[in-house]
Structure 1
Amino acid sequence: MVAGETSGDLLAGLMLDGLKTRWPDMSSAGIGGPQMGRRGFEAWWPSDKLAVRGYVEVLRHYREIVGIRRQLRDRLLQDKPDVFIGVDAPDFNLDLEADLKAAGIPCVHFVAPSVWAWRPERVEKIRRSTDHVLCIFPFEPELLARHGISASYVGHPLANMIPLQPDRADARAALGLPADAEVLAVLPGSRASEVQYLARRFFDACKLLRAERPGMRFVVPAIPALRERIAQVAAQAGMAESIQIVEGRSHQVLAACDATLIASGTATLEAALFKRPMVIAYNMHWLSWRLMAPKRLQPWVGLPNILCREFVVPELLQDQATPRAMADAVLAWLASPGKIAALTERFTALHHELLRDTPTLCADALQKVLENR
């Protein structure tokens, strides 16, 4: 298995639950993170080695990433596994899967590359590289079937992890937050490049919000590797005393908050499943943005908007992601309880749509692939 970054590690960990139940003596190894490790996965490289986004950022790490892929490919071709599972990270995994499939190793890709949103030219590569795709959104299998790609909908694992009715009071008590305080969850990303381009903007927005809402509390869930860097940026923004940084615990923070200022990515879906109003923002190296922007096929970038097929939450991208614009968008939510209630209803319906027994469905699909070898 290969899982890139935090979200891939989470998805793979849940998938391993289903596989270990079906095949108790199964062994798994490759590239993974702590969630996979807790399920007995042997990580030859940590998943954060692949946690790079954007053309310019990838170029900086290109030699190391290509070297890891070459070493992994050679190792798997020499000692062939029964199946290879690439979890997300399509730029890394699809090329690797193509080589392994050509050598007779069954390849499954978990999380369909978003050809419906970005880079439709990937369709041919998916067909060439995979035996089966496990989809986390219900519309994807039909779309892939049109291109001759075998796929199945397994639900979104996060929908099983997050309660339909989150307990805000319990989460606040666990985080030491006052029950009656106004709480903003601040999530500037789980990659170093995201923190580089987003954290200062986010904290400057928080500074504006603090001036207008002195009682507001700001909580940042940070992965351990980025905690110190996030603390440094908060200090540079003059917010060191006002921002509470907690290690991990992003779900607890989202359950506790009234609203969230959040980087585009999987975390936005988590916020939607927690039924929280959000302001999605993103900024990257200007050249990466210029190269990626023309490849967009839809008007939305945030997953909640893509799944709802409309702008149910605001998106502030690149030059639009100014501290003032972000602060104003947060304030607009807090001043609109009726809109928050309507959003909660919409996100609850989305939660039901994504709720499936994902570990078991993954094991069912994998068993069919193995039977058809």
Structure 2
Amino acid sequence: MKPAAAEPNPHGDACIVLVCNGPGELATWVRPLAQRLHRELPLRPLTPGAPMALQLVLVPCPNATGIEHQVADRMGLFERISPAKRFWSLLLRPQRLGRWPRRGVVVFLGGDQFWTVLLSARLGYRHITYAEWVARWPRWNDRIAAMGPAAADRLARRWQPRCQVVGDLMADLSEAARSERPLPQGEWVALMPGSKRAKLQVGVPFLLEAADRLAAQRPGIRFLLPVAPTTSVQELLAYGSAANPIAQHYGSGEPVLEGSDLVTPAGSRIRLVEEQPAHGVLSQCQLALTTVGANTAELGALGVPMIVLVPTQHLHVMQAWDGGIGILARLPFLRWLLGAALTAWRMRNHGFLAWPNISAGRQVVPERVGAITPQEIAAEAADWLAHPQRLEGMREDLRSLRGQPGAVAALAGMVRELLPPPSADSA
């Protein structure tokens, strides 16, 4: 097919730079906005020869995997991607990465908001921050796109005119997921062990045994496991084998690959979903068993009931987890009391771990923290599945938190407003 010709661009030679830090934000915030901008504007690389480009800058983050740039490259939406390891070099000498147009817009979509303040100042571009909970540097934001009134109301009065409430970017995920092809009939449960090595070491063998035990209680149940873009099928097999020393603590045994299914020795078949994002198939599941992280926000946006799992019995691995859990696991005098420390912290601070619960300020989805076992989780999952009206109640709670679609379109509109005016000269 012949590439589409570039349409006349009233903004001249300019650049839109999206800034992000991790795989969760790439999938749920960056990709939808990038796709929307490409639909509304002639942008390179999807419109060859267009005078304006869409670029991505990844920023340093202790919770990143280090291969986010590879994940972003597979999206095919960006003319240029700057890996996180080159961020400081980018700030010092931007021209090392090639020519930068004189005018542009930097959009914060994850990480430390201060990095986008520095980047926009260095490039001389205008700056917009998507504020999920708080806009930390409103003085240096040209515009602030707030997820909701909570973020907007925290701004001082003099910065309020810069702010617009756009809504939750992930509210649009369910709309896109509806166009996906349906799964075969059956009772589907999603297994989501995580996307990083430290979580996969525990999550894969734990969930394989949980699947075996759940299948024994509910014959005919079907499982799927979305393969995170930062891992592979072969790595999942390795995490479930004797190559992973944690696997010896679980009774599922070493899985094998049959076609696109992971099959346990007990005969449980787990469909591996490699296409990204997997929102279409996930939205059709009755229940998900998941670790903490951005996946709980994705499932919540899709309205998928879930049980969130934080097994604390493998402390040497949990030291590499992200967030407060990893910090607690690294404290030398509390390692053996991690479960108690987490429980005390949560009771004192109402410290929920799953994003739907954090957003609601109350428990919407169950969080199971401590020395939990696959047997306990399988029994709880079977109980939820045996009471579909309870599952539907959780689904409705998640839908009420999600808000109305349209945030991506609203944010794209704000980005367009910050682009150079039609009368501006080209760089």
TM range (shorter): 0.7 to 0.9
Contact 1:268 1:302 in 2 (8 A): yes
Q: Aligned residue for 2:35?
A: 17
Cα deviation for residue 331 of structure 1 reads: 2.1
> Are residues 1:234 and 2:240 paired?
yes
Cα deviation for residue 367 of structure 1 reads: 3.8
Q: Aligned residue for 1:355?
A: 405
SS of 2:190's equivalent?
Answer: strand
Amino acid at match of 1:247: E
Write 1 or 2 for the structure with the bigger share of helix: 1
1:64-105 superposed Cα distances (whole Å, 9 cap, x missing partner): x5x422122234378465222232122xxx342232344443
Q: Aligned residue for 1:291?
A: 327
Q: Aligned residue for 2:154?
A: 143
Q: Aligned residue for 2:11?
A: none
Q: Structure 1 residues 128-137 or 277-286, which shifts more?
A: 128-137
Q: Aligned residue for 1:335?
A: 386
With the length of structure 2 as denominator, give the TM-score of the two structures: 0.65
* Residue of structure 2 aligned with 1:68, choices 76, 81, 86: 86
Determine the C-alpha separation between the residues in 2 that align with 1:38 and 1:251: 15
With the length of structure 1 as denominator, give the TM-score of the two structures: 0.74
Determine the C-alpha separation between the residues in 2 that align with 1:339 and 1:333: 7
C-alpha root-mean-square deviation of aligned residues, in Å? 3.6
Contact 1:108 1:133 in 2 (8 A): yes
Identity of aligned residues (%): 22
1:245-298 superposed Cα distances (whole Å, 9 cap, x missing partner): 221352233133221101223322332343332101246624862636669954
Determine the C-alpha separation between the residues in 1 that align with 2:158 and 2:380: 40
Cα deviation for residue 167 of structure 1 reads: 8.9
Q: Structure 1 residues 287-296 or 219-228, which shifts more?
A: 287-296
Distance 1:101 1:164, change over 3 A: closer
Q: Aligned residue for 2:53?
A: 27
SS of 1:276's equivalent?
Answer: coil
Q: Aligned residue for 1:194?
A: 199
1:13-51 superposed Cα distances (whole Å, 9 cap, x missing partner): 2212343345424202233565676564124346xxxxx
Structure 1: any 5+ residue segments left out of the alignment?
Answer: 47-64, 116-122, 174-178
Determine the C-alpha separation between the residues in 2 that align with 1:19 and 1:172: 30
Amino acid at match of 1:28: L
Contact 1:17 1:359 in 2 (8 A): no
The structure that has the greater radius of gyration is 2
Distance 1:151 1:203, change over 3 A: farther
User: Matched residue pairs, number?
Assistant: 332
1:152-185 superposed Cα distances (whole Å, 9 cap, x missing partner): 33233332231499599x5223xxxxx2x33211
Determine the C-alpha separation between the residues in 1 that align with 2:75 and 2:220: 39
Determine the C-alpha separation between the residues in 2 that align with 1:253 and 1:4: 26
> Are residues 1:366 and 2:418 paired?
no
Cα deviation for residue 6 of structure 1 reads: 2.8
Q: Counterparts of 1:51-200 in structure 2 under 5 Å?
A: 65=84, 67-76=85-94, 79=100, 82-90=104-112, 94-103=113-122, 104-112=124-132, 114=133, 124=136, 126-127=137-138, 130-145=141-156, 148=159, 150-163=162-175, 171-173=182-184, 179=185, 181-200=186-205
Structure 2: any 5+ residue segments left out of the alignment?
Answer: 1-17, 43-49, 58-68, 243-251, 256-262, 312-316, 329-341, 422-427
